[in-house]
């Protein structure tokens, strides 16, 4: 990676690679302040990944929050422009409760948002960017795609309670077919629909394998047709092998619609990328346009990066009164092979690969 | 070298039953039956590596990806809500999460109910569903003595045969949720090791239907 690969941490390498990618597709960088009025998050609480928000009172008495999310701020500052699509990307720190640590964390997040006249072309572009983002992070990656319309079409005629709907979504999200049956019994979901839901949970695999089975199950509904159009467009591309259809990708909250997706890379136990279409959130925030985007969770990367096992490549010992210019010249030469530190004595806790001594104007390996 | 599938098994009687199912499903590892104190066993030919862990830790191993799949009780899944796929009800290790109280206990709905339990979240959710005001007393063991010593009014705990309750003059008053062992999978492993996981799932499903 342009000579920086060995120095940058995994998440820094990802930011570096992804920024170039997004700019290549014409996405403009979006920079924002660390704070936002708390009210924005209270009004759109269901859109947030975690409930917790760090708040403080500003000097003018306004209750402010350290940003737990980026998308809401971008929408707030977006403009409606008929026939156009506004494309932005961001690299921002957000502050929210980590799902792993169950406490507040500063999380470096990068992602893209498209707002405006979103059509299949834009959706495909965003899916492609998501797939390429994953590929740039790790050569072994999977992009799971789902369409919320598939579940919505099945549940709409049933007029389920919010509680019932949440129970169905939870079971689908967990691939929990056995409990889904119990939920269907509890909420009086008719057997044919319950059976379709259970089969839907069992569907997983490349689009070419899953879509024919999906069409047999549901017919060529608009949601199925859109899934087919978008995944067909990948045929023969470098990303085709990465795609899977998976209906367990059920975005939380009532703000998403249409295509939703999650990305996984080998070595990270949970998804590292998450995104989808969120027209409903745009409506709620008074925008006429549609929107789609995704976030890459950089905090979930890096665990598979091999630890160096030592603090510096080389330790060069010198004595008082040595020729400083010659010492520095010798150190600079050694630095061409890696990191080097100068010391008069070996520090107790320092680990190194090579040890040298500078004596009589010469470097001697020890 | 064949990519190994890491399987976390719950230590104890349930784990032995579960291993027998994996063996029947075509994923044997004979060394696991050797009488020693080893915790990790593998069969390169079958592509499986088993390890014994504390039953309540199985879900953590799977959620964090140290294990690709594992078997955990529904009680643990409800209490800790790990981000995993719950693929199959194995229909073994069956018991129930129940509310138990001293024989003849009369619940006064006007008073806050004091509930002793190891399963705080399950208890909280259960009573929240009823709109009941409760005071959770989290204990780590010997839950049954809490009402006897006046520490709580009732307990929420796992009931298998009911013998321990009976011997402590307690009786089940309500069933919270039925419990059994579940096959769970790490979300990323499900993508990257899909073939062996699907194979195990299908074989185990056949076994549970018998």
Q: What Rg value do the Cα atoms of chain B yield, rounded?
A: 20
Domain for residue A75, yes or no?
Answer: yes
Place of tokens 């009369």: B106
Asked if pLDDT for residue B10 goes beyond 70, the answer is yes
8 Å CB contact of B192 and A264: yes
Residue with token string 């925030």: A285
Task: Choose, out of A176, A242, A245, the residue to mutate when testing the contact with B (most B CBs < 10 Å).
Answer: A176
Over residues B92-106, mean pLDDT? 93
User: Could you tell me if residue A187 is inside a domain?
Assistant: no
Q: State whether A288 and A360 are in the same domain.
A: no
Q: What are phi and psi of A244, to 5 degrees?
A: -135, 145
Token duo for residue A79: 């403009």
A175 contact B CB<8A: yes
d(CA B155, nearest CA chain A) in Å: 26
Q: Which of B128, B185, B187, B192 would you mutate first to test chain A, the one with the most A CBs within 10 A? A: B187
Distances in Å between the Cα of A133 and the Cα atoms of A127, A256, A264, B193 are 10, 22, 11, 22
Residue A258 within any structural domain of the chain = no
| Rounded-to-integer distance, Cα B141 and Cα A231, Å | 53
Start-to-end Cα distance in chain A = 33
- The count of CB pairs under 8 A between chains A and B is 48
Residues A274 and A342 in one domain: no
Query: Which of A97, A186, A267, A270 to substitute to test the interface with B, most B CBs within 10 Å?
Result: A270
Q: What is the pLDDT of residues B150-208, one digit of tens each?
A: 999 999 999 998 898 999 999 999 999 999 999 999 999 999 999 999 999 999 999 98
| Cβ within 8 Å, pair B192-A142 | yes
Q: What is the pLDDT of residues B83-94, one digit of tens each?
A: 999 999 999 999
Are A269 and B191 inside 8 Å of each other by CB? no
Q: Say yes or no: A52 and A80 in one domain.
A: yes
Verify that A315 and A295 share a domain, yes or no: no
Look at chain A and report how many structural domains it folds into.
2
- Name which of B65, B88, B192 is nearest A178 (Cβ-Cβ): B88
CB contact under 8 Å between A178 and B89, yes or no, is yes
Per-residue confidence (pLDDT) for residue A203, from 0 to 100: 94
Average pLDDT, 10 consecutive residues per value, chain A (366 residues): 59 86 94 87 78 88 90 88 91 83 84 94 97 93 96 91 92 94 94 94 95 93 96 94 94 79 93 93 90 91 62 91 91 88 90 91 89
User: Rounded CA gap, A260 and A255, in Å?
Assistant: 11
Tell me whether residues A269 and B187 touch, CB distance under 8 A: yes
**Residue at A81 is within a domain:** yes
Q: For B195, which residue in chain A has the nearest alpha carbon?
A: A205
Q: Are residues A357 and A274 in the same domain?
A: no
The structure tokens 């990656």 sit at A141
* Percent helix, strand and coil across chain B, each to the nearest 5: 35, 30, 35
Residue where a domain stops, chosen among A256, A283, A305: A305
Interface membership of B175 toward A (CB under 8 Å): no
A273 and A324 in a single domain? The answer is no
- Output the pTM of the full model: 0.85
Note whether B87 contacts A175, CB cutoff 8 Å. Answer: yes
| Structure tokens given for A141 | 């990656």
Q: Are A117 and A29 part of one and the same domain? A: yes
- A144 with B85: Cβ contact below 8 A: no
pLDDT the model gives residue A299: 82
A148 found inside a domain: no
pLDDT on residue A1: 43
d(CA B53, CA A72): 43
Q: Would residue A159 count as lying in a domain?
A: no
CA–CA dist B190, B184 (Å, integer): 10
Same domain, A294 and A346: no
Question: Can you spell out the DSSP letters for B167-198?
Answer: HTTEEEEEEEEEE-EEEEE-HHHHHHTHHHHH
The reply to whether A55 falls in a domain is: yes
Range of the domain at A119: 10-140+266-305
Q: Is A247 an interface residue toward B (CB < 8 Å)?
A: no
Looking at the structure, tell me whether residues A283 and A360 fall in a common domain.
Answer: no
Asked whether residue A280 falls in the same domain as residue A332, the answer is: no
CA distance A71 to chain B (A): 24
Is B202 an 8 Å CB contact of chain A?
A: no
CATH number at residue A100: 3.30.930.10
Task: List chain B residues with CB under 8 Å of A264.
Answer: 187-188, 191-192
CA dist., res. B53 & res. B63, Å (int): 14
**Residue finishing a domain among A258, A274, A305:** A305
Secondary structure of chain A in HEC code, one letter for each residue: CCCCCCCCCHHHHHHHHHHHHHHHCCCEECCCCCEEEHHHHHHCHHHCCCCCCCEEECCCCCEEEECCCCHHHHHHCCCCCCCCEEEEEEEEEEEEECCCCCCEEEEEEEEEEEEECCCHHHHHHHHHHHHHHHHHHCCCEEEEEEEHHHHHHHHHHHCCCHHHHHHHHHHHHCCCHHHHHHHHHHCCCCHHHHHHHHHHHHCEECHHHHHHHHHHHHCCCHHHHHHHHHHHCCCCCCCHHHEEEECCCCCCCCCCEEEEEEEEECCCCCCCEEEEECHHHHHHCCCCCEEEEEEEEHHHCCCCCCCCCCCEEEEEECCCCCCHHHHHHHHHHHHCCCCEEEECCCCCCCCEEEEEEEECCEEEEC
CA-based nearest residue to A170, from B59, B56, B122, B86: B86
For A171, name the nearest residue in chain B, comparing CA atoms only.
Answer: B86
Give the 3-state secondary structure of residue B25.
Answer: coil
Tokens of A180: 């889904």
Q: How far is B193 from chain A (nearest CA, A)?
A: 10
Average pLDDT score over residue span B1-12: 89
**A165 backbone dihedrals φ, ψ, rounded to 5°:** -65, -45
Count CB atoms within 10 A of the CB of residue A349: 5
Structure confidence at residue A284 (pLDDT): 87
End-to-end, the C-alpha distance of chain B in Å comes to 35
Give ipTM to 2 decimals: 0.85
| Shared domain check, A95 and A18 | yes
For testing contact with chain B, the best of A269, A270, A300, A301 (most B CBs within 10 A):
A269
The CA angle B47-A270-A218, to the nearest 5 degrees, is: 90
Other Cβ atoms within 10 Å of A117 Cβ, number: 17
Contacts with B188 from chain A: Cβ below 8 Å:
264-266, 268-271
Q: What's the pLDDT at B158?
A: 95
A326 with A290, same domain: the answer is no
The answer to the question of residue A118 being in a domain is yes
């Amino acid at each position: 990676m342009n000579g920086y690969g060995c120095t940058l941490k995994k998440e820094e390498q990802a930011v570096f690679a992804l920024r170039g990618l997004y700019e290549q597709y014409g996405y403009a960088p979006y920079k924002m302040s660390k704070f936002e009025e708390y009210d924005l998050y209270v009004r759109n609480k269901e859109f947030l990944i975690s409930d917790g928000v760090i708040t403080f009172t500003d000097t003018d008495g306004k209750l402010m929050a350290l940003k737990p999310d980026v998308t809401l701020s971008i929408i707030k500052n977006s403009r409606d422009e008929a026939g156009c699509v506004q494309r932005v990307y961001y690299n921002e720190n957000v502050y929210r409760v980590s799902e792993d640590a169950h406490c507040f964390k500063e999380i470096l997040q990068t992602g893209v948002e498209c707002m405006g006249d979103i059509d299949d072309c834009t959706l495909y572009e965003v899916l492609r960017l998501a797939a390429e983002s994953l590929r740039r992070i790790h050569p072994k990656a999977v992009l799971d795609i789902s369409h919320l319309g598939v579940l919505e079409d099945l549940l709409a005629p049933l007029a389920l309670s919010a509680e019932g709907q949440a129970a169905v979504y939870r079971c689908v999200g967990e691939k929990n077919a056995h409990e889904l049956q119990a939920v269907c019994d509890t909420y009086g979901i008719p057997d044919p629909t319950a059976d379709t839901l259970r089969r839907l949970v069992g569907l997983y695999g490349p689009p070419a394998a899953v879509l024919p089975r999906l069409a047999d199950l549901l017919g060529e509904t608009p949601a199925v047709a859109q899934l087919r159009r978008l995944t067909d467009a990948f045929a023969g591309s470098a990303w085709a092998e990465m795609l899977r259809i998976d209906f367990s990708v059920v975005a939380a909250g009532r703000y998403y619609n249409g295509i939703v997706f999650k990305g996984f890379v080998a070595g990270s136990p949970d998804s590292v990328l998450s995104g989808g279409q969120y027209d409903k959130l745009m409506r709620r925030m008074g925008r006429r346009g549609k929107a789609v985007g995704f976030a890459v969770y950089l905090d979930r990367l890096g665990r598979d990066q091999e630890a160096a096992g030592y603090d510096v490549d080389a330790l060069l010992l010198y004595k008082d009164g040595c020729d400083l210019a010659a010492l520095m010249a010798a150190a600079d030469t050694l630095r061409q092979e890696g990191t080097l530190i100068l010391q008069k004595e070996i520090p107790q806790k320092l680990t190194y690969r090579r040890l040298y001594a500078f004596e009589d104007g010469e470097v001697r390996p020890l | 070298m064949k990519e190994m599938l890491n399987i976390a098994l719950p230590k104890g009687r349930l784990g032995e039953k579960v291993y027998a199912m994996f063996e029947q499903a075509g994923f044997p590892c004979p060394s696991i039956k050797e009488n020693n104190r080893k915790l990790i066993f593998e069969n390169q030919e079958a592509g499986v590596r088993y390890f014994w862990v504390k039953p309540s830790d199985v879900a953590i191993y799977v959620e964090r990806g140290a294990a690709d799949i594992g078997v955990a009780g529904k009680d643990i899944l409800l209490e800790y809500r790990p981000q995993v796929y719950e693929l199959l009800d194995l229909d073994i290790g069956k018991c129930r999460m129940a509310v138990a109280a001293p024989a003849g206990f009369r619940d006064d709905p006007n008073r806050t109910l004091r509930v002793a339990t190891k399963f705080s979240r399950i208890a909280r959710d259960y009573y929240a569903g009823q709109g009941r005001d409760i005071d959770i007393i989290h204990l780590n063991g010997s839950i049954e003595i809490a009402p006897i010593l006046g520490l709580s009014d009732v307990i929420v705990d796992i009931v298998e045969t009911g013998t321990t309750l009976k011997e402590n003059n307690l009786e089940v008053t309500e069933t919270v949720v039925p419990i059994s062992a579940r096959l769970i999978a790490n979300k990323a492993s499900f993508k990257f090791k899909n073939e062996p996981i699907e194979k195990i799932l299908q074989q185990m499903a056949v076994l549970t239907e018998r």
